[in-house]
């Protein structure tokens, strides 16, 4: 049960990587708070089903493709007349120790995580500047701060998102645009793919003893997108049950 509610009536929100997991939970939260929501994902079928489920619009697009990103942003602004919040959540995994990673393993992860965050941010900024306001929330990871064996590409991308968040926060503050990030520890499809022995080790490292429900990530994102967070920018908020302590 929520103790704090936010009102996003009249605002338009774009969430990437939103066919399931944290992205879908974020989209659902904003929709319940009155926002017009666009879910973006690579897979057309799943994102349409997810959007229909929560009363949003589902758009299929590759965040690693500049043309497709531009088309999404232009469509959103054309249909809704505005764009207020961008949540950069799209991600993928190509795990392996560094000496076994192929160029494609590296390029794919960088293009989706870091590249997708960059492309969508670049695309929305002109609209935010015209409005004199905007909220960007990026999804990074504990792995980007501490590293994790077998995920050098993922760690590099997530660390890059932290640097990107802080730099763009400085660049965009004078236009009334805030840029923040969350570092989550949620039960997602990526976590579900982790071998049980490794998963037990990861869970043991969390002081609260569990991975969060995706909805708990959504609440943090909504706060950073809210009017109440208007003076917060450049922050990487750990939503990880104390794992970063």
d(CA 220, CA 208) in angstroms, rounded, equals: 17
25 touches 53 (CB < 8 A)? no
**C-alpha angle with apex 114: 110 to 115, nearest 5 degrees?**
80
d(CA 121, CA 166) in angstroms, rounded, equals: 13
16 touches 63 (CB < 8 A)? yes
d(CA 86, CA 196) in angstroms, rounded, equals: 34
What sign does the dihedral 202-205-206-208 (CA atoms) show?
positive
Catalytic annotation, pick one of 29, 106, 154, 231: 154
d(CA 115, CA 117) in angstroms, rounded, equals: 5
199 touches 205 (CB < 8 A)? no
Q: Is 154 a catalytic residue?
A: yes
Backbone φ and ψ of 38, nearest 5°: -115, 120
Helical (H) or strand (E) element with 184: strand 177-184
Burial class (CB in 10 A: 0-12, 13-18, 19+), 101: middle
- Provide Rg for the chain, Cα atoms: 17
Task: Write out the catalytic residue numbers.
Answer: 154
């Amino acid at each position: 049960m929520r103790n704090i509610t936010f009102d996003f009536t009249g605002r338009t929100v774009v969430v990437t990587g939103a066919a399931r997991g944290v992205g879908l939970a974020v989209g659902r939260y904003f929709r319940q708070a009155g926002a017009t929501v666009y879910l973006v994902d690579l897979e057309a079928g799943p994102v349409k089903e997810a959007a229909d489920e929560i009363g949003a619009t589902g758009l299929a697009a590759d965040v690693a493709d500049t043309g497709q990103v531009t088309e999404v942003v232009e469509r959103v602004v054309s249909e809704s007349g505005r764009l207020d919040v961008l949540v950069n959540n799209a991600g993928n995994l190509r795990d392996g120790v560094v000496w076994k990673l192929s160029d494609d393993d590296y390029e794919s992860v960088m293009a989706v995580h870091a590249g997708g965050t960059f492309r969508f941010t670049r695309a929305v900024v002109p609209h935010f500047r015209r409005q004199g306001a905007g909220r960007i929330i990026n999804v990074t990871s504990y792995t980007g701060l501490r590293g994790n064996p077998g995920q050098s590409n993922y760690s590099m991308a997530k660390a890059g998102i932290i640097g990107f968040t802080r730099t763009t926060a400085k660049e965009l503050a004078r236009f009334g645009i805030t840029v923040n990030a969350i570092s989550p520890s949620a039960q997602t499809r990526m976590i579900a793919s982790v071998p049980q022995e490794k998963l037990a080790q990861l869970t043991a490292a969390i002081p609260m003893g569990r991975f969060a429900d995706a909805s708990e990530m959504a609440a943090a994102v909504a706060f950073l997108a809210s009017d109440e967070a208007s003076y917060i920018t450049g922050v990487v908020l750990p939503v990880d049950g104390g794992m970063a302590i």
